[in-house]
Structure 1
């Protein structure tokens, strides 16, 4: 099966800027989700103006609030000294723990229902097909793809129509989008706007929002928007893996907010997990632009023929003897015939019997992983975002851990580190997420 999967460079069709905004994002099928999202709200939230407006306001606010804190010698705001503020921070973290964990479990179920195992009859090609084609019915060759040339959805194989009119049921279950990605991915996209509260917490404590913190939050808005808006296949991984990492990270923040001790090794491990998910995400997503694969399908060819064993038959005419009793009828028939009418018994013909002869034709299907320029645009927007983000994380890792490990510290220095305010330590690590 490995020989049926290829890497090829496509520069003419999917590498297009600006990308095509077709097709419209398909909203989750009604009745298939934990709760209903009105289609008009679903579509409106994916308007480009939404992330542009919120990200712009976020960046402007961070710029001026950083200047404000600097001018006030980075003193904590008065509101941060109230117990209610500490409780609000804990509630914020717990809400994101619950949401991230719920999203992770939801995506786990989505993967179980839609991704084909390499051990199945379809083999590795079936797995690749289920990860590349996220719309349609479960099974190799049973997906729906968007044909940009004719601007409509079409079946991956010509015989895959769901009714005689050739109309596809785009709400069909079986593939990743309708099985949960459309629902959980959209909510995860919206959560990127809520997460800017992390930055607000840092600023209220009198600290500056660093480059890593600010770049991370603003960029995540656009990356999740593009992945869901263009229904790009690899976006499932960012929702699935990132929600798992977020569950761990916000658990750590909650422990910090409760002023409980946390091992330095745990903090280091969480940072390593962050960097690893970014690196793996880049490699996984970028491969989609170059993957293609082959598989065979059998298409039924139905030929309708007439059954020769059934022929037209005409019943024989019965002879009639002109007797006095029927003489009047004979005269009547002669009169009718003379007037141009006919009273001759008509031939009764039996309708021919039709039978269907079904044969199968084997087709070789060459399929590219991506269908639209929008799907490809979302991938490379994420790649261009993740590369510098990895650099920022590596710099953070070096400053936070390697420097501390290489320094020889006296007992007095160790005491100083122990007595650092918990909130500063939390703020620095609060940059540690995506």
Structure 2
């Protein structure tokens, strides 16, 4: 192993070192599926099928293509679809917003609770310290993957397909879907697939951070849909929180490259990332976040610096 810099000089402490050679830039081929969600849980029987790369690639491609075609057919005078003018449509949109708000809150609390319990359990079986914390995050056998991430993360991956309804609502209103909107949804499907397919430890960040932001965002949409006036400062705070999520989350994810925790079973330090699939998923997510952050910053400048009339990425 490459020489390490110990955070605290005992095996209860994690170590920082160079990323493990041989896997950091290796394409993931022939890697078995990880442990799926618990038997009997929602969609557990379809885990293998839904983890096929063709599923997210096909849906994301069809989604982006259809949006592009429909965007080109929309001009300034495009009218909303007839159904979009009805009271039923309005209440269906409100129900959609409320469902995603409640679901996101459930995911955030459930995933955070699982994370805390896992770290406590790993600390109870070994000396407390940063090593136990990172073992709880990284170990596929003892860590968060089999204690919640394989369940909440898998469902969160599936929710990215459902969120396409956001774009359907925009188009039904006779409006165009922005590049930010389309890229965000299509990229999220593929990013979550990579993280869950390869059980990449940093994907817990996507699940926790994104579900928290979505809880607040869809609560905002719910209030707006009920014609409850929300101060502009709230909208600005939501956009700022989105950008902070990308920057902080991406930085924390990259830190996993350099973490080594003490494995008491092997009696040696082990890298947080152990195969090319995990590193591929991490690179994919970080590279997805870079242009997404750029687009959100551009939106923030247009809205709050230049004072242009803009809306949050999902206009309702």
| TM-score normalised according to structure 2 size | 0.89
Give 2:46's match in structure 1, choosing from 23, 41, 48: 41
| Cα deviation code 1:317-365 (max 9, x no counterpart) | xxxxxxxxxxxxxxxxxxxxxxxxxxxxxxxxxxxxxxxxxxxxxx851
CA deviation after TM superposition for structure 1 residue 104, in Å = 1.2
Q: Counterparts of 1:286 and 1:177 in 2: how far apart (Å)? A: 18
Q: Counterparts of 2:32 and 2:313 in 1: how far apart (Å)? A: 37
| Cα deviation code 1:15-56 (max 9, x no counterpart) | 202x134121211233xxxx5246541111111010011101
Say whether residues 1:129 and 2:135 are aligned partners.
yes
Task: Give SS of 1:63's match.
Answer: helix
Residue aligning to 2:65:
60
Say whether residues 1:370 and 2:273 are aligned partners.
yes
> Quick check: 2:132–2:261 contact (8 Å CA) kept in 1?
no
CA deviation after TM superposition for structure 1 residue 292, in Å = 2.2
From the superposition, tell whether residues 256 and 39 of structure 1 become closer, same or farther in structure 2 (CA, over 3 Å): closer
Residue aligning to 2:88:
84
> Quick check: 2:178–2:313 contact (8 Å CA) kept in 1?
no
CA deviation after TM superposition for structure 1 residue 367, in Å = 1.2
Q: How many residues align?
A: 303
From the superposition, tell whether residues 39 and 83 of structure 1 become closer, same or farther in structure 2 (CA, over 3 Å): closer
Residue aligning to 2:295:
392
Residue aligning to 1:7:
17
Q: Counterparts of 2:229 and 2:168 in 1: how far apart (Å)? A: 24
Say whether residues 1:215 and 2:183 are aligned partners.
yes
CA deviation after TM superposition for structure 1 residue 82, in Å = 1.0
CA deviation after TM superposition for structure 1 residue 185, in Å = 0.6
Q: Counterparts of 1:189 and 1:177 in 2: how far apart (Å)? A: 14
Residue aligning to 1:169:
none
> Quick check: 1:230–1:374 contact (8 Å CA) kept in 2?
yes
Residue aligning to 1:245:
213
Q: Counterparts of 1:266 and 1:117 in 2: how far apart (Å)? A: 38
Q: Counterparts of 2:41 and 2:267 in 1: how far apart (Å)? A: 40
> Quick check: 1:117–1:126 contact (8 Å CA) kept in 2?
no
Q: Counterparts of 1:25 and 1:136 in 2: how far apart (Å)? A: 11
| Cα deviation code 1:168-216 (max 9, x no counterpart) | xxxxxxx312211111111100000000110111111111111100000
Task: Give SS of 2:74's match.
Answer: helix
Task: Give SS of 2:16's match.
Answer: strand
Q: Counterparts of 1:76 and 1:104 in 2: how far apart (Å)? A: 35
Give 1:381's match in structure 2, choosing from 274, 278, 284: 284
Say whether residues 1:108 and 2:112 are aligned partners.
yes
Task: Give SS of 1:292's match.
Answer: strand
Q: Counterparts of 1:198 and 1:113 in 2: how far apart (Å)? A: 34
Give 2:233's match in structure 1, choosing from 248, 259, 265: 265
Residue aligning to 1:27:
36
From the superposition, tell whether residues 51 and 109 of structure 1 become closer, same or farther in structure 2 (CA, over 3 Å): same
Q: Counterparts of 2:276 and 2:122 in 1: how far apart (Å)? A: 28
| TM-score normalised according to structure 1 size | 0.66
> Quick check: 1:8–1:292 contact (8 Å CA) kept in 2?
no
| Cα deviation code 1:115-156 (max 9, x no counterpart) | 2499973211111222121x224xxxxxxxxxxxxxxxxxxx
Matches within 5 A, 1:163-202: 175-202=143-170
Query: In angstroms, what is the RMSD of aligned CA positions?
Result: 2.3
| Richer in helix (by share) | 2
Q: Counterparts of 1:259 and 1:39 in 2: how far apart (Å)? A: 39
Q: Which has the larger radius of gyration?
A: 1
| Richer in strand (by share) | 1
> Quick check: 1:21–1:230 contact (8 Å CA) kept in 2?
no
